[in-house]
Amino acid sequence: MKGRKIKSIWAFLASVGSSTVLQLVGLVITPFYLELTSQELFGLWLTLGSLVGWISLGDLGIGMALTRRAVSAIDKSDYLELKKLTYGAMLSFIVIGFFFFICGIYLTDTLVSLFTISQSLAADFRATYFILLIVILIGQPLGVFDSIIEAKQHIAFQKINNTIFAFLAIIINILLLYVGYGIISFSISILITTLIKPIVSIYYLKRIDKKIEFYPFSTSMRQIKELFKFGGLFQILKIANLISTSTDNIVIASILGASFVSIYVFTSKIAFIIAVGLISIIPIILFPGMSQLFDIGDIFKIRNIYFGLVKIAIRLGISVGIFYYTVNETFIHLWVGDSNFGGNMLTFVFVIWIIIESFLRGITSILYASTKIRGLSIISIIESVLNLAISLFLVKYYGLVGVALGTVFSRLITLIYVPLKINKLLKVNSIYFLNKIVGQTIINCIPTILILLTADFFLIANLTSIWFILIMGVLTFFINILLFEGIFIFKQKNKSFKKRILMLKSYYT
């Protein structure tokens, strides 16, 4: 138990550190990308990323299933089973990946026509797309070793390793852009890191556990069937993520044009950093540990984790949503220029999205750990259809705002289902949950909202852009700490300050 806590703490610190560094580097490097390409060309790259995300659904959730099954094999010290699961996943990825590779090749001309790509850009688009298809074909089989590292709960190493290779990809990308390779530079850099990374992962696994063996090749239909059984359920993880991060870009590129993809992505950048990048860290880290808790049936501990995740997700979603609304226009002005800002209404819609997405990403990992997600798969299919239908309808009347509204409206069905399903699974009264956990947390956030909006009103006209953003960020952080952790410490009457801090630590661990 203590070892699991220590691993979770180190994983959290590494995740926050690596995610923060990568996001900062991404913010710094994006203006250079725009300068070395163009708004349209960069928009095409963003659209390609979305397309490849959908094509990579061909993994059928096997990567997540491998992590889940590997946890059980490692706990039982069954290293032969672990090897068979690993190669079963690799073989499945190769077969499925080849099928989707052929389909992707077949769709090339259709995509060029769909996105009305000019003749001058068509050749680069085709080459970049082809290289990305190769990355999918080889990347998923070679990525199975990362799933084993996750199962070993060495997530801190994995986050640091991912950060290093992301830096390497950026360096290669910039060098190729300067040489004049254009949009192809993005895909070549990813291909190079995809080929190198598995070597590091295998070496690390052999260092941390000498019993792990990958030679000779060994698997059977039993392991493959188990992976597909679990993978079919865990596929929803990728679908839900792609719905919220990739569908919009494809709709925008096909109807409004690639340049508008850049505007949409830049306007929503902070929102995605917050909801997808930062708030997702905690549940991802807790996933292997929660899987173990479900295996041993410790519902009481899982219930406490659930309540804690709900409170953290709500308070972070609301507070950083308000921060995003107050600083986004100023941030875009400083970052990539006013021509890339999508407007205050688009920003407001993304505030609602941040709050919803933060809540769902904070708690849905509990369902994944339980493997009781058959119902969620149906809900997500409905959400996917609604998202596409609403976005396609509203984009004609409201442009980028219509696309964002489609994402928000379709997400509401999952917002209702997920907590109800978890409450049933953990035997939590939904009325109690709504009033005492969700409702009370929202009420506690009201002072934070009022203080931040008041600060925005008085500060925005009296400070330069960079100082305004920095001060609002500091205020958001410290007000959050003061009104939650501060009040918790203050309420512990007749106890020393050290004892109060220890109680706070115990509450979170």
165-179: average pLDDT: 91
pLDDT surpassing 60 at residue 57: no
CA distance 347 to 264: 10
Instruction: Give the pLDDT score at 267.
Output: 93
pLDDT surpassing 90 at residue 47: no
* Main-chain dihedrals φ then ψ at residue 298, nearest 5 degrees: -85, 75
Of the CA atoms within 13 Å of residue 74, those in its CB half-sphere come to 25
Percentage of residues in the chain with pLDDT exceeding 70?
A: 85
The answer to which of 129-133, 148-152, 369-373 has the lowest mean pLDDT is: 369-373
Q: What is the pLDDT of residues 292-339, one digit of tens each?
A: 788 788 888 889 888 888 988 898 889 889 999 999 998 998 888 888
CA distance 418 to 420: 5
CA distances from 63 to 2, 75, 87, 235, 289 (A): 27, 19, 12, 9, 17
Instruction: Give the pLDDT score at 210.
Output: 83
Binning the chain into helix, strand and coil, the percentages to the nearest 5 are 85, 0, 15
Instruction: Give the pLDDT score at 220.
Output: 80
The answer to which of 19-23, 105-109, 117-121, 345-349 has the lowest mean pLDDT is: 19-23
Per-residue pLDDT band at 19 (split at 50, 70, 90): low
- Characterise 297 by phi-psi region: left (phi > 0), alpha (psi -120 to 50), beta (else): left
Instruction: Give the pLDDT score at 304.
Output: 86
CA distance 271 to 168: 26
Per-residue pLDDT band at 394 (split at 50, 70, 90): very high
pLDDT surpassing 80 at residue 413: yes
Percentage of residues in the chain with pLDDT exceeding 90?
A: 21
Task: Name the most confidently modeled range: 50-64, 233-247, 304-318, 338-352.
Answer: 338-352
Q: What angle do CA 334, 339, 341 make, to 5 degrees?
A: 70
pLDDT surpassing 60 at residue 237: no
Instruction: Give the pLDDT score at 168.
Output: 92
CA distance 244 to 385: 12
The answer to which of 147-156, 232-241, 463-472 has the lowest mean pLDDT is: 232-241
- Characterise 371 by phi-psi region: left (phi > 0), alpha (psi -120 to 50), beta (else): left
The answer to which of 138-147, 219-228, 229-238, 422-431 has the lowest mean pLDDT is: 229-238
Average pLDDT, the chain: 82
Helix 155-179 vs helix 144-151: crossing angle, to nearest 10 = 150
125-151: average pLDDT: 88
Of the CA atoms within 13 Å of residue 363, those in its CB half-sphere come to 31
Query: The whole model's pTM is what?
Result: 0.75
Task: Name the most confidently modeled range: 192-196, 297-301, 479-483.
Answer: 192-196
Can you list the pairs that 138-143 forms with residues at least 24 positions away whose Cβ atoms lie under 8 Å? 138/97, 138/194, 138/195, 139/194, 140/56, 140/58, 140/59, 140/63, 140/93, 140/97, 141/90, 141/93, 141/94, 141/97, 142/194, 142/195, 142/197, 142/198, 143/63, 143/93, 143/198
CA distance 496 to 443: 29
What residues have CB less than 8 Å from 323, skipping those under 6 apart? Answer: 452, 472, 473, 476
pLDDT surpassing 60 at residue 233: no
Q: Of 323, 319, 293, which Cα lies nearest the Cα of 306?
A: 293
